[in-house]
Homo-oligomer: A and B are copies of this chain.
C-alpha cells in the first residue's frame, strides 16, 4: 500500500481494530473514533496523568528498533511514570507524527507493539491523533489511578533514609550502545538481555504498587535518565543530600560484560544509564530490611540499597578512591 494513499479516516479505522482488544472489559465508556474518549474514574481513587514523547534519531533509531518496539517503548516509558506514583494505569492516548516516507505498515506495527504491552498491563488505548511531521515521533499520555494515601512523589526523602533501586541498572544503555557501535555483537546471546532491555523495556508497575503501599517508602521516582541524574532530582525535590556507595550500585550483567569487552567505564552504565525504568525509592532506615525482605519475597530479586540521604544537600559518590561530588552523567533531553 502506498504511503501516499493514506487517509486519516481509513488509517484510524485500521488502528481502532488493532487497539480494540486493549479496551475490552475496561471501564472505557467511549474509545477511539470520536472527538474524545470517555471513562469513569474510580470513586475512591485519585487520578494521575503523565506525558512522554519519543522522537526518531533522538530517542529511538529505526535501524535499531522495529516499529512494534517503538510503540512498546513509548508506552513503557509512560507506564514507568505511573509506576513511580504507586499508581495503576487505566488508559492511554497517542499522538503519532509520521513523515511522508512512512509506510502504513510501519504505523500499524507501531500500534501493534503498543497494544501488546497495553494488554499485558491492563491499559486501554483510548484515542489519539496522527499528523504529518518531518520525523517520526510518538507522544503518549497515560492516565492512572492511585489510592490517595499510596501516592508517592519525589519530595518525601528524609535525612537518614536508605536510597534503593528495584533492579540492576545499565542494560538499556549497553543495549543501545551495542546496537550503534558494535552491531557485530547484536546477535550474541551474551548480550540478548541488553538488546531486549533497550527495545522492549518493562515498567515496574507491580513493584510501584507494592512500594506505594508502604508508609515507610517516603519518596519514589523512576530512573529514566540515569541514577546520577535522577537521584539529584529526588534530592533537590526533597531538600536532602545523598551519599552513594559505588560498590553497591547493582550493574546489569550484560552492561558489565559490554563494558569489559569495550573497555568502557562500567559506571557509565550504572550511574549514567537511563531507561531501564527501575524505580528509585527513599525508605525509612529502620524499616529498610523489612521492606526489602517483603520485596524479595514478592519479586524474587533484591531491593538494592545504593546510598543514604543526608541532611546537607550535597550529592556525593563514595568509592575506593574516596568521596567526590556525584556529577549528573545521565540523559539530558535537551543536550
Contacts and interface: CB of A to CB of B under 8 A. Distances in A.
Interface string A134-155: 1101010101101010010111
Interface stretch (A37-45, A161-169, A171-179, A262-270): A37-45
A153 B155 CA distance: 41
Q: Could you say which of A7, A41, A143, A151 has the most chain B C-beta atoms within 10 Å of its C-beta?
A: A41
Contacts of A153: 30, 34-35
Contacts of A35: 50, 80-82, 84-85, 153-154, 221-222
Interface in A124-140: 126-135, 137, 139
Interface stretch (A18-26, A55-63, A192-200, A308-316): A55-63
Contact of A155 (B6, B34, B135, B148): B34
A49 B37 contact: yes
Given A53-B95, A94-B51, A34 B154 contact: yes
Contacts of A221: 34-35
Contacts of A144: 36
B37 A127 contact: no
B93 A49 contact: yes
Given A34-B154, A81-B35, A84-B36, A97 B49 contact: no
How many of chain A's residues touch chain B, expressed as a range? Answer: 35 or more
Contacts of A129: 51-53, 139, 333
A110 B139 CA distance: 18
A132 B93 contact: no
A33 interface: yes
B141 A51 contact: yes
Contacts of A139: 51, 53, 95, 129, 137, 139
Contacts of A34: 85, 153-155, 221, 237
Interface string A57-98: 111000000000000000000001110110100010111011
Which 9 pairs, one residue from A and one from B, show the smallest C-beta to C-beta distance?
A41-B41, A139-B139, A36-B50, A53-B95, A35-B84, A141-B141, A35-B81, A51-B93, A95-B139
